Structure formats: C-alpha cells, structure tokens
C-alpha cells in the first residue's frame, strides 16, 4: 500500500517502529529524555558563556571628580601603578621632562617673589605670579630684608630658567599651564542641566553652554597626549629646545637652551635640559636653603611644599644628568587636566584581572565643570576627591572663594544630581598628610571655619568633623538615600593608596556586576 501525500518524510523517519514492543518503547523514551537533558545542559552552558562574554566585554566606567588640585590625576595614576604595571613601566621614563618642568617652575616661583622683594614691591595676596614684578605696591609694613651681592649673583645665574620653563611648556602644550582666573562664578555650572531648573548665575551666560561642547575628550589634552607630544618633539630631526646657561662664560650648546639659540649638535634636547639643570643644581639648592629667601616666602605665605609638583626639595637628586623618575616622582608630577580625559586600562592583576576599566579624569577648575554632565550617564561609580588641607586657602582661579567651601558646594551638586541618584559615589577626603602638617604648625581651623568652634585642633578631630559635614550634605541632598562611602587619603602615598584602591576596586566591581544583571 502506498504512502499518503500528506505524510511528512521527517515525521516518518523519527516515528517509532509500528511493531515496537512496550519494553522497546520504555527504553526509547529513557534515551530520548537523556538526550534532551544533555541538550538542555549544553544550551545552558552556551547561555552562561554568552552572558560572561557580555559582562566581561562591558568595561567598568569610573569617573573622578573634584576641584582643581584635589588629587584626581594622582588617583588615576595610582590605579595604573597598582593594576596596570606593564603600561606604567613603559610610560614612567616619559615623565622625566614633566618633572624637570615642575622643578624649574618651583625655582621660578621663588625667583618671582625674590625679585619682587629686592625691587621693594610688597606682596599682595591677590596677585598672580606674573604681576609680582610689574605693578608697583603701597609702602611695606615690615622692614626691608637685607640682600647681598651673592643674592644678586644667584638671581642672575638662575634667570635663564624662566626661558627654559617657557620652552618646556611650549613642547608639552596647554596641559602644562595653570589657570589663574575664570569668568564662571558658580561651583557647579552643570546644576541647571542636572536639576531641571535654571541657576540665576548660569541662565544668561552662554560661555557655560559652550563649555558643554568645548570641554570634551580631546586628543590634544591629557597627560598621555602631552607625553606623546614631547616624544614626537624629541624625535624630530634637528629639533632642540631653546635655552641658555646664564652668564656662564662663552655660549655652549647647553647654554643655548635658555637664550633662544638652537644647539648645533644633534642630540636629544631632554639631555640638554638635564645638563643645564645639573649645572644649576648647586644654585637651586642655595636658593631653597637661603635663610633670607626663606623669610621672603614666609612673609608672603608661600608654601611650595603644599602645592602639587613640589620637587625643589629633591633638586640634588633630580637636577642630574643621570636622573630617571621613580614611581613616587611620577605620582607627584603635575600636569593640569583639561576638559574630560578618558584612560583605558586592562587590569593585569587583582580581582578584575583581564577586565577593561575606563577612567575619566576631569578638569577641576570652575570653567571646566560644565563638561562633566555628559559623562554622568552609564558610569558605574564616582570617586569624589575633596582636599581638606586647604580649609584656609582660596581657589587659584577665583581668589574670593574658599577651597573647602567650594568642595562643599560641588559635593552638594553631585549628590543632588538626579542622573546620579543610583550611582555609587565614593568620597576621598584627601591631603590628610598636608592637613596634619598644617595643624602641627599651629594653623587653627576655627579661624577659617567658624563652625569648627572650640574643638580640639588635631587631625583626628578635624577629619571626623569634615567627614560628618560631607555626610550630612549627602543625606540632605541625595534624591534617593545612598550608602556613604568615605576614605581618608593622601594619594601621593602610593602604599596606603594601593590598600584603599583594593577596597574600592571590590566595591565598584560589585556595583558593576549588579548593574550588568539589571540590563
């Protein structure tokens, strides 16, 4: 008898035999069930592998926020030092020129005050360093200091370092320059965007709106770009920095670095810089150790030791032809961050070994903060750095604003941002080492922070007070109550910071995986 045209050949192929016995049927069904179980297990393994691939491919995104000179870039460099050692080692030598610039800038800051004092121009705290030798001042309150011929000769020998600074800044680009003024008068220009209403100080100022476009990830900014720029310059055929070796006899190639002349021999210009600094080493040490010049700095309340990029205390080691940067030198080196910079690291060890992390370092000056908002979306966590040592200092870009108060206002704006209501925010109360040194010198917190009152003027009391104040701001400002994560830090201390980052890494990873599960 023939087959019906309606019968499916595949159905017929897998159909049990027409003469199948009950025992055969039972055995077949057991085999089919086992085959299905194995198939389901394979499907589940494939699903889990795909999920793991999806999770591992999604990078961990971390945003570093805080005012200028709060320690954001130093924190980022600590991440690289701790978790991406291979890349760190490859880049360390490139920081040599930046550290040379920091040292030269230390010298030139002292020279500006030194020259001003010798010219009988008393110090005005609102002056920038560029104004110190330009604008005449009112009669001085303190007696004139006595300068000798040796002081004048010392100044003349170190004058060429001003040209060297300009040359280095030109080669490193705008990241090597510091901002001394701003037209932005609010702590968080992104407030109008984040909170859905216009701020009275921002609604009529178009520069703030331009900032959202102007300050973005820009390949011409950031430390990697600055270092790449310097590398390219060093390898340019026949290129050499302009300079001079002061009034040291006849003009040599090394002397040409500061005077505008180009060295005739073909060699790495960074070696010319190292040679010039080596020749100036003893004079730099004399400048820093001279009691009269120290009195100049004391009168003008200049404390280079508290500022980023302080290296003059290490002049004997750094002003050398053989100098190579250490890990601590690189962490301490200062290059200003412009806009928002993205750094990608593949962690080579730790809990997230093999995981890609994307860290976003931001410019912290008031004119840069309008660029932050676009990066609030899809970020796993924020580390907010609030330096607590400058409780008695003013913003470099706005001498009317107390730095601690600016951090409070900025912290309040970040905590109140609705877009960040579900984002993990970790607070670093930074520069605890500088705070302790300042308190040990007898500086009283209550003189600048009246609400501190009659509390004990020591590190433990001060950090507890500041920590509580930031916690209260978070609780009062957050749209949704969030855990308060805080660490007391000194991010230039690489060992203690590595311990802190270990705890932070685990916390951020848990949040990253939680967010991945919700997607």
431 labeled part of a ligand binding site? yes
Quote the CA–CA distance of 285 and 380 in Å, as a whole number: 47
pLDDT tens digits, one per residue of 84-111: 998 899 889 889 999 999 999 999 999 9
pLDDT grade for 138, boundaries at 50, 70 and 90: low
Q: What is the mean pLDDT of the chain?
A: 80
Tell whether 337 is in a known binding site.
Answer: yes
Give the separation between CA 15 and CA 3, rounded to whole angstroms: 14
In 10 A of CB 28, how many CB atoms? 13
- 358-389 residue pLDDT tens: 999 998 888 888 889 999 988 999 999 999 99
Cβ count within 10 A of residue 81: 21
pLDDT computed for residue 335 by the predictor: 85
Which pLDDT score, from 0 to 100, does residue 123 have?
A: 53
DSSP lists the bridge partners of residue 424 as: 381
> At a CB cut-off of 8 Å and minimum separation 6, what does 383 contact?
62, 63, 64, 65, 75, 426, 428, 504
Residue 405: predicted pLDDT? 96
User: Is the pLDDT score of 237 beyond 70?
Assistant: no
Q: What pTM does this model have?
A: 0.76
Can you tell me the distance from the alpha carbon of 417 to that of 479, in angstroms, rounded to the nearest whole number? 8
Report which of 415, 42, 510 is spatially closest to residue 518, judged by C-alpha positions: 510
Instruction: Using DSSP, state whether 51 is helix, strand or coil.
Output: helix
pLDDT at 163 over 80: yes
Q: Is the dihedral of CA 325, 327, 333, 338 positive or negative?
A: positive
Spatial separation of the C-alpha atoms in residues 147 and 368, rounded to whole Å = 42
Instruction: Give the closest residue to 466 by CA, choosing from 447, 486, 480.
Output: 486
Q: Is 430 annotated as a binding residue?
A: yes
Question: Which region among 62-71, 251-260, 440-449 has the lowest average model confidence (pLDDT)?
Answer: 251-260
- HSE, CB side, 13 Å, CA atoms: give it for residue 479: 12
Q: What contacts 160, CB < 8 A, 6 or more positions away?
A: 243, 244, 245, 246, 255, 257, 258, 259, 276
298 is in an annotated binding site: no
Residue 432 annotated in ligand binding: yes
Residue in the structure block whose two tokens are 């002061």? 246
pLDDT confidence bin for 416, thresholds 50/70/90: very high
Between 160 and 141, residue with greater pLDDT = 160
pLDDT band at 516 (very low <50, low <70, confident <90, very high): low
């Amino acid at each position: 008898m023939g087959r019906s045209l309606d019968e499916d050949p595949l159905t017929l192929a897998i159909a049990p035999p027409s003469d199948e016995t009950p025992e055969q049927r039972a055995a077949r069904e057991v085999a089919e069930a086992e085959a299905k179980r194995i198939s389901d297990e394979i499907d589940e393994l494939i699903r889990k592998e795909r999920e793991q691939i999806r999770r591992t491919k999604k990078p961990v995104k971390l945003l570093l926020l805080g005012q200028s000179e709060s320690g954001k870039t130093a924190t980022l460099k600590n991440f690289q030092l701790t978790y991406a050692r291979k890349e760190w080692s490859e880049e360390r030598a490139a920081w040599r020129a930046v550290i040379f610039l920091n040292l030269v800038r230390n010298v030139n800051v002292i020279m500006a005050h030194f020259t001003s004092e010798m010219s009988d121009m008393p110090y005005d705290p609102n002056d920038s360093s560029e104004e110190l030798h330009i604008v005449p001042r009112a009669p001085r309150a303190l007696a004139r200091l006595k300068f000798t011929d040796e002081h004048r000769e010392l100044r003349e020998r170190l004058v060429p370092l001003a040209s060297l600074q300009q040359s280095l800044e030109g080669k490193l680009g705008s990241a090597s320059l510091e901002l001394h003024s701003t037209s932005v008068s609010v702590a968080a220009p992104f407030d109008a965007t984040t909170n859905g209403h216009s701020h009275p100080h921002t609604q009529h100022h178009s520069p703030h709106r331009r900032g959202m476009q102007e300050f973005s990830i820009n390949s011409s900014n950031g430390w990697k770009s600055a270092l790449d720029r310097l590398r390219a310059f060093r390898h340019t055929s026949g290129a050499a920095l302009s300079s001079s070796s002061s009034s040291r006899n006849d003009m040599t190639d090394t002397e040409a670095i500061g005077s505008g002349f180009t060295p005739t021999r073909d060699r790495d210009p960074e070696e010319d810089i190292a040679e010039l600094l080596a020749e100036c080493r003893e004079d730099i040490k004399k400048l820093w150790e001279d009691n009269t010049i120290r009195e100049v700095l004391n009168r003008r309340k200049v404390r280079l030791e508290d500022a980023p990029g302080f290296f003059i205390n290490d002049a004997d080691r750094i002003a050398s032809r053989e100098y190579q940067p250490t890990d601590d030198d690189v962490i301490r080196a200062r290059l200003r961050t412009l806009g928002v910079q993205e750094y990608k690291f593949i962690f080579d060890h730790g809990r997230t070994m093999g995981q890609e992390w994307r860290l976003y370092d931001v410019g912290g000056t008031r004119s840069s903060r309008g660029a932050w908002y676009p990066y609030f979306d899809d970020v796993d966590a924020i580390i907010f750095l609030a330096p607590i040592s400058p409780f008695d200092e003013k913003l470099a870009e706005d001498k009317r604003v107390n730095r601690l108060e600016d951090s409070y206002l900025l912290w309040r704006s970040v905590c109140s941002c609705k877009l960040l209501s579900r984002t993990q925010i970790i607070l670093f109360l930074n520069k605890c080492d500088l705070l302790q040194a300042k308190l040990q010198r007898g500086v009283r917190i209550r003189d600048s922070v009246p609400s501190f009152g009659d509390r004990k003027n020591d590190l433990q009391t001060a950090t507890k007070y500041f920590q509580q104040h930031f916690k209260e701001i978070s609780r009062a400002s957050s749209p949704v109550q969030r855990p308060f994560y805080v660490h007391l830090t000194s991010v230039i201390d690489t060992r203690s910071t590595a311990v802190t980052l270990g705890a932070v890494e685990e916390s951020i990873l848990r949040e990253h995986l939680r967010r991945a599960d919700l997607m």
